[in-house]
Every structure is written in structure tokens, then in C-alpha cells.
Amino acid sequence: MIRTVATAQPISPSALGVRNAADMLRLMIDAQLSRCSEPVPGGPFDNDDNQWSRTMSQRGADLDLLVVALYRFRRLAQWALGGPFATAQLKADVATFDAAVPNLTEIRDTQEHFDEYRSNVGKRQKAGEPASGFGYGLGASGGIVTYGQFKLNVGDAVAAAQELHRGIRGLVDPIASKDVHGGPDTALIPHP
């Protein structure tokens, strides 16, 4: 008896799945921006600088997670381009996001592979990029992350993600609202 192993066949993204994932990521992005831009109590020269140090450490972690959420959102948008509902407008919306957030992939990759980049063996370093270090500037707009020549303005990136989210929702909502698994009442963000 010969056994055959069934191989999974890729499926196209559904409008409902894209809508729900876009809403979840948008909520995550908004929450992380809020956490990154909260005022930091105290200062490094206070009698007890532990609270300030812990809060600054948490802001750095929140900023890292925000970069991951933005990157995942970009991946969702690219995945949605493979859906039967994808239009030239969605492709243009993704391109607009990419233009507004040009260094997202490099910043995310450097964060994710910090050990390689701190050891000067990251993929881009092997291709000639000089070693560098991260810079975090935190502020009321969320902040700026830099690594070498790459810069990510968090406020601009979040604004671009919000615009792309509106574009995605405008495209998939008419289809998703007719899906028997989740009509208009299941939208996480009722009015993006």
C-alpha cells in the first residue's frame, strides 16, 4: 500500500479575515503608540531613579512592539493584495504606506536580529553596511527609532497605517459584511 501525503493548498485571503486582522493590528498599533507617548514620571537624577529607569525601559519595549505591529500590518496589506477583492487602489495604498514608512523592514529586521547586528554579522553588514547602534527618541508623538542610516518616525508610521487601514476597510467591508461568519455587527472598529 502506497501512502500519499496530502499537501496543503494555499488559499486566497478572505475579505472577512483581512478586515478582522486589520482591525486587530490597528488596535494594537494605536495601543502601543499610546503607551509610547505617555509622560515619563521623574527623571534620571531623582533620589529614586528606579521608577524612571523602569518606565524608560518599558517605553523602549513598547516601541519595539509597535515596530513589530507596524511590520505585521504591512505584511497583512501585502497578503491582502492576493485576495480576489484586491484592486489597483489597494496596491496604490500599500505603495503609499511604503513610501511614508521607508525603513520599516530594516528597523524591524535589525531589532529582531539584534544579536547578529551587534556582533557585526547581520545580513546587511555582510553586504557592507557599517556597524551602528540603535537610537530611541521618545516623545509625545511616539518617537523616532534609528539604526545607522535608517530612521523610523513612529508618528508618521502610525498615521500611514491608519490611512492604509481605512483603505483596506473601504475595500473589504462591502464583501465582509455579507459573510455569514461575521456581518457588519462584528467589526471591531465600526467606523475606521
Question: For the segment 84-132, what is each residue's pLDDT rounded down to a tens digit?
Answer: 999 999 999 999 999 999 999 999 999 999 899 989 999 999 999 998 9
Q: What is the pLDDT of residue 79?
A: 96
pLDDT tens readout for residues 44-76: 677 776 777 788 888 888 889 999 999 999 999
- Domain for residue 188, yes or no? no
Task: Identify whether 187 is part of a domain.
Answer: no
Q: Give 132: exposed, middle or buried? Use CB within 10 Å, 0-12, 13-18, 19+.
A: middle
pLDDT at residue number 82: 95
> Is 3 inside a domain boundary?
no
- Domain contains 8: no
Q: Which among 173, 185, 165, 188 has a CA at the least distance from the CA of 72?
A: 165
pLDDT of 184 above 70: no
| Residue found by looking up cell 531613579 in the block | 49
Domain extent at residue 25: 15-41+49-177
Residue with cell 539584534: 114
Residue 183 lies in a domain: no
Q: Number of folded domains in the chain?
A: 1
Give the chain's mean pLDDT: 89
**Side chain identity at residue 69, one-letter code:** A
Residue that is written with C-alpha cell 487602489 in the block: 89
CA distance 71 to 122: 19
- Does 21 map to a domain? yes
55 sits in which H/E element: helix 50-80
